[in-house]
C-alpha cells in the first residue's frame, strides 16, 4: 500500500545527517556570521597566519574593547575562533571551520 501524505516518512540517511545536535552546532556557527563585527573579526583572523593578540585586533573594529571581547567569546563558543592565554592577554586564531566557511563564501561570490 502506498504511503499517504499523513504517514511519517521512513528514516533515511538525511535523518542521520540532519539531526538536532548537528543542526544546533551548524546554526550557532552560521549565526555568528550574522553580525558585521563578528564577520569582520573572523575574516581578520582567517587572513592572518598566526594567532593575534587582543590589542592587535581592536584597532580594526570600531566598537569598544568590551564589545570586541564579547564578540570573540561568541565566536569561540560557535567554534569559529580559538583562544589561548598569552601572559596577561589572550591570542585568537580562526579555526579550520572558520577558514572553510570564509573560503566557501569567497568561492561562491
**At a CB cut-off of 8 Å and minimum separation 6, what does 6 contact?**
none
d(CA 71, CA 15): 33
Q: Is residue 27 part of a domain?
A: yes
The parent domain of residue 40 ranges over 19-107
Residue 8 lies in a domain: no
CATH number at 50 reads 1.10.10.10
- Give me the mean pLDDT over the 33-49 stretch: 93
Domain tally for the chain? 1
pLDDT of residue 46: 96
Q: What is the mean pLDDT of the chain?
A: 88
Nearest CA to 72 out of 60, 54, 95 is that of 54
Is 78 in contact with 28 (CB distance < 8 Å)?
yes
DSSP character at residue 64: -
Residue 7 lies in a domain: no
Cβ atoms within 10 Å, residue 100: 12
Q: Mean pLDDT over residues 77-91, rounded?
A: 93
Residue 3 pLDDT > 60: no
- Burial class from Cβ neighbours inside 10 Å (0-12, 13-18, 19+) for residue 88 reads exposed
Average pLDDT score over residue span 48-57: 92
How many angstroms separate the CA atoms of 84 and 52, rounded? 10
Average pLDDT over residues 85-102: 94
| 2 within a domain of the structure (yes/no) | no
Q: pLDDT value at position 95? A: 96
In a domain, 93, yes or no: yes
- Of 2-6, 25-29, 58-62, 104-108, give the lowest mean pLDDT range: 2-6
Amino acid at each position: 500500500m502506498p504511503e499517504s501524505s499523513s504517514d511519517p516518512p521512513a528514516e533515511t540517511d538525511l535523518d542521520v545527517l540532519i539531526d538536532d545536535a548537528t543542526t544546533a552546532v551548524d546554526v550557532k556557527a552560521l549565526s555568528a556570521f550574522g553580525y558585521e563585527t563578528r564577520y569582520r573579526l573572523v575574516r581578520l583572523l582567517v587572513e592572518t597566519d598566526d594567532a593575534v593578540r587582543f590589542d592587535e585586533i581592536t584597532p580594526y573594529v570600531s566598537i569598544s574593547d568590551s564589545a570586541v571581547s564579547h564578540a570573540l567569546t561568541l565566536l569561540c563558543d560557535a567554534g569559529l575562533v580559538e583562544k589561548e592565554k598569552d601572559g596577561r592577554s589572550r591570542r585568537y586564531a580562526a579555526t579550520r571551520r572558520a577558514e572553510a566557511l570564509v573560503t566557501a563564501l569567497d568561492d561562491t561570490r
